[in-house]
A and B are shown apart, each in its own frame.
Chain A
């Protein structure tokens, strides 16, 4: 087929639109996603966590997390029966490569995965001077990288140590619950790769979500409940020594 001037004129607008999408990067549009239909959280069953570090690796690969920083990490607790208030905790490289054998066989050892708690009353969004970090109608706390000043006030305000300043963007960064995935009907990278199903994405507004049955039948707790942040990451079998 010969390419005529008419063809070229017809193709140019289409090429222009295509180029606009190329410049915009990967499109994040999820046309069928309705924000108000969801209220996202996560369920972490500590009886199932084996400390393999799959979740940490998957998160870093999925979200291009800079080295030395963590959107999620795993802690190992060692608690002796006579000193419950002073647990020994370690998290070498955020538990990314798993854990070496425990040094002390006495007492109890268990793993605690951590991530942003996507608090309904989050102190980080409260203190942001420009509202660059916010909670969406679907309950996910996000950061607008194009708007964040990098003042680090939110990092100070988070009681759980979940935020950091990305050396790449000089803006605040944290777990987004893999927003680019969950808005398309997928689960998070950490839940996807957890070999034991210890991490489960939960939609509290979905009446069919198994979270409802689980919450009814198990003793579930959130981290630092006295902070009154209305955290939405629920832990099954959370030990009193966990901070």
Chain B
């Protein structure tokens, strides 16, 4: 049979989960990572990353709004997807997605953004005109009290939500890892490390995204990049990347040393069909290289200009590497037979419902939404309106 080597069970030849299911953990990972970066400033008082705080929240929201779309497009019956809310099957990891997603979107992200921006929204609803004014007035939700006491309550509530939000972000992406890690039929996925690896890789991709978006937007606004901020973000990226890589290597070494019945089949796959995406792109280009680049910025005395370029390059490579990781998990996990006797091939469509074009649109769409959000709710530090007295009082 074309595209098949060795023996596959006859129903296994066709891949079930396409590039859209690669996108789904990639997008939710960016959400979780961006939120955790935002929480550094809010909860852990890392003042240096303050310029990215609001941008990180908006980035998380933009990606979270699109995250369920690839799933929806992939379903055979998308019109029935609401059944997951109405009649969830409690033993299914996937069934819980709807609730974790809604909790994270409404109870954490939207609420935190609203509380943080409430003063700006009220002021904007008074200073703008026409349709914009109507939009801002709607966004105030009828609450126009911006007295110091009210802002103090906002600050306390926002802090509390961020505290709740951190485990929620872990839950959001840990759960995505669990969807794969709990499938005992598939040895490439079945691992208790999977949710942990997913969480750390999420943090890596989210931090890299916010760093890149901040650098790009500041450059496009012809403002000076706050190097203290970017250096701090890059340092966190470096540390978390090392933890992430260690975990992935632990998983790999464990598999190699144990060499269970699936090992020969998986090892052959990694050295043939997954060689480029796994060894070359994910490990060398997307993990080792950015770690070395970021490490160089930690030990060498480089100029601002050089560091900026290195951060830009390392950030892009990181995102490529994390996307490759999601690809290798999702697609790699379906290329071998559960009989361990053969391999199939993934043929990606171009202009199909689950094809390349759809994937590109779904990747660009969050950036468009982010652009709209940034226009609507400017996240720039010079407009950061939390008065220091309120913050100090609240803490």
Contact = CB atoms under 8 A, between A and B. Distances in A.
Interface string A147-191: 111111101111111111100011100000000000000000000
Nearest to B86: A130
Contacts of A75: 7
A149 B183 contact: no
A156 B87 CA distance: 22
A227 B183 CA distance: 11
Interface string B359-392: 0000000000000000000000000000000000
A173 to B, nearest CB: 9
B75 interface: yes
B130 interface: no
Contacts of B340: 243
A227 B89 CA distance: 22
Contact of B76 (A91, A94, A170): A170
A128 B92 contact: yes
A149 B94 CA distance: 12
Interface string B113-151: 000000000000000000000000000000000000000
B95 interface: yes
A70 B10 contact: yes
B94 A151 contact: yes
Contacts of B88: 129-130
B12 interface: yes
B309 interface: no
A87 interface: yes
B80 A128 contact: no
B16 to A, nearest CB: 4
B94 A129 contact: yes
Contact-residue bracket for chain A: 35 or more
B345 interface: no
B84 A149 contact: yes
B272 interface: no
Contacts, number: 121
A161 B11 contact: yes
B17 A152 contact: yes
A158 B16 CA distance: 12
Given A89-B341, A129-B89, A165-B76, A156 B83 contact: no
B106 interface: no
Nearest to A92: B1
A47 interface: no
A129 B84 contact: yes
A160 B9 CA distance: 8
Contact of A129 (B11, B16, B92, B339): B92
Given A91-B7, A158-B185, A149 B75 contact: yes
A127 interface: yes
User: Which of B8, B16, B94, B185 counts the most A-chain CB atoms under 10 A from its CB?
Assistant: B185
Contact of B89 (A87, A128, A169): A128
B358 interface: no
A90 B92 CA distance: 34
15 contacts: A68-B10, A73-B9, A94-B10, A127-B92, A131-B87, A149-B78, A150-B75, A152-B17, A152-B74, A153-B179, A160-B9, A160-B338, A161-B9, A243-B339, A243-B340
Q: Would you list the 10 A-B pairs with minimal beta carbon distance, nearest first?
A: A150-B76, A161-B9, A170-B76, A159-B185, A243-B339, A129-B95, A131-B89, A152-B16, A89-B7, A129-B94
Interface of B: 7-12, 14, 16-17, 71, 74-78, 80-81, 83-84, 87-89, 91-95, 97, 179, 182-186, 334, 337-341
